[in-house]
Structure 1
Amino acid sequence: MYTIEIGQLEQMVQIEQAIPEFSSPKKLADIKLRLADKRHLLLIAYHNSEPIGYKLGYALNDTTFYSWLGAVVPNHRGQGLAQKMLLQQESWLQQHGFTAVQVKTMNRFRAMLAMLVKNNYAIIDLEKAPSFQDHKIRFEKLLG
């Protein structure tokens, strides 16, 4: 059985280590530094009490939230967990007064790109990189 709940950073770091696409997984100290003094939300997806996915973001200001990091371990992909975490995050944001959410992804993460487009996120910026696969695309969705 899958559930999604607000979780702890230590659980997120544990999941981060199990994501093969991440060449340099985030470290707990770096995450805490980025989140210091920021309102944030960490959702953890569980399978039978085992943490297997996460979605972490923080407030850019009083009305805009940045969905910073997210992943699902490979053997639990295809269950709709990323979509469910996205919808749960959006619901929480609306309940807490946010009117927009932004997210950045790379060209190489095709499933993420497709999910964002499917959920009415609009491209608002592009950061070019030496390889087109590493171009960073910033999306935004207005909530409400």
Structure 2
Amino acid sequence: MEHLIKQYALESGALEIQYIEEYFGEFPRKKSAAEIMHRLEDRESLILMAEAPLPADPAGTVVPVSFKIVHELKATETDPKLADLVAKLRDVLVFDGRRILYTWIGGTRRDWRGHGHFRALTEESEVWAHTAGFHEVVVKTKNRFYDMRGTLDHLQFDVIKYEPNPTDNRDSKVYLSKQLTADVLRTHTSHRTLTFA
């Protein structure tokens, strides 16, 4: 299967993500375009979206079905959320002399899951990150997101930290990472066509 992937500039990508997140029922709080642009301004980032034909019209209209936003994570973050993330990862990640990529938000619409769209986006982001000189990619999820954890397992992400929630283990945080070596790129299996929006 050939995956159709679009790479977006910051403003148009933020607007597209704001739109597509309305189709994700499991996200309790959706990101606004303004929030996305504020987070990504002045840092290296990538906004990708996979498109696929509607099931009832396989040769016709394509719609956005999956998205992914990754950005640089610096040891010297000043944004309170990112500074907290860095503080939590200092004991398991080496920041000195290395570039760390953070998978911020992403997902696949329920009806299109299981077709490799998120894998294709992840592999495309890994190619971009490796070319840009990043050494490692890190992602944070909740224990309750079993589908996402399974996907990350298939993509060969390693658990590097587990932060238990004292009242509900399903809300415990799981941190995973992957080294971005040339060997990783050779393990890619998706077939992708990249265009620029």
TM-score (normalised: structure 2): 0.68
The SS at the match of 2:114 is coil
Task: Select 1:81's aligned residue among 111, 117, 131.
Answer: 117
Give yes or no for the alignment of 1:103 onto 2:139: yes
Task: Select 1:19's aligned residue among 24, 48, 62.
Answer: 24
Give yes or no for the alignment of 1:141 onto 2:146: no
Q: Structure 1: which 5+ runs fail to align?
A: none
Aligned-residue CA RMSD (Å): 1.6
Shift of 1:79: 1.1
Distance 1:127 1:38 in 2: 27
Indicate the structure (1 or 2) with the bigger Cα radius of gyration: 2
User: Whose strand proportion is higher, 1 or 2?
Assistant: 1
- Greater RCO, 1 or 2 (C-alpha within 8 Å, sep 6+): 2
- What percentage of residue pairs aligned between the two structures are identical? 29
Aligned to 1:52: 65
1:91–1:34 distance in 2 versus 1, CA, 3 Å: same
Matched residues, number: 144
Q: Structure 2: which 5+ runs fail to align?
A: 53-60, 75-97, 182-197
The answer to whether the 8 A contact 2:45-2:72 is kept is yes
Aligned to 1:69: 105
TM-score (normalised: structure 1): 0.92
